[in-house]
Amino acid sequence: MNERGKVLDIQGGLDQENQNIIMANKNGKVSQRWKLVYVDKYEGEPTKGQMNNKFGLYVERDFHIVSAMEGGRYLDLDVSNRYMNLKTSNGRKQQVWYFDQRSLTIKSRWNTGKSFDIYNSGRTNNM
C-alpha cells in the first residue's frame, strides 16, 4: 500500500488474460491480493544480498508477482514498457521483478530502468 492507501488491483476484478493492472483504494477483494514467488525457490541464505527487513524483500532477488485469483496469472510488463497487465506464466523477463535497494522500489528485469510508478504522483489509478 502506498501513502495514499492505494494498492495493485486488477481492473474490473476480472481474472482474464491481458487484463490491465491499476492502483485502487484498498477494499480487501481478491483482485487486490498477490503472492511473491521467488524465482529460485529460496531454501537458504540469499546469494545476491540480504533481507531488507523494513520492506520484507530480498535485495535483487528475482521474483514473480502472482494474482491470488483462481487463474494464478502473473503481473506482466507489456513490451512497450508502459503498462502492466495480467498474463499466464510464460517464462519471459517481463514477468520477473526485483527489489532495488538504492531506490527502494520494485523494478522490472525486462527493463531495469523502470520502477513501479503511479501516474500524476499517485493522484490517479493509472500505473
Q: What would the CATH number be for the domain defined by 6-122?
A: 2.80.10.50
- The x, y and z cell numbers of residue 32, run together, are 487486490
Q: Tell me, what's the pLDDT at 125?
A: 66
Nearest to 20 by CA among 68, 84, 90, 66: 84
For residue 87, what are the β-bridge partners? 74
What are the extents of the domains in the chain?
6-122
Tell me, yes or no, if the pTM score tops 0.85: no
Burial of residue 35 (number of CB atoms within 10 Å: 0-12, 13-18, 19+): exposed
What pLDDT digit, counting tens, does each position of 56-107 carry?
888 999 999 999 999 999 999 887 777 889 999 999 999 999 998 888 888 9
Q: Which three cell numbers stand for residue 110?
A: 525486462
- Cβ atoms of 15 and 67 within 8 Å: the answer is yes
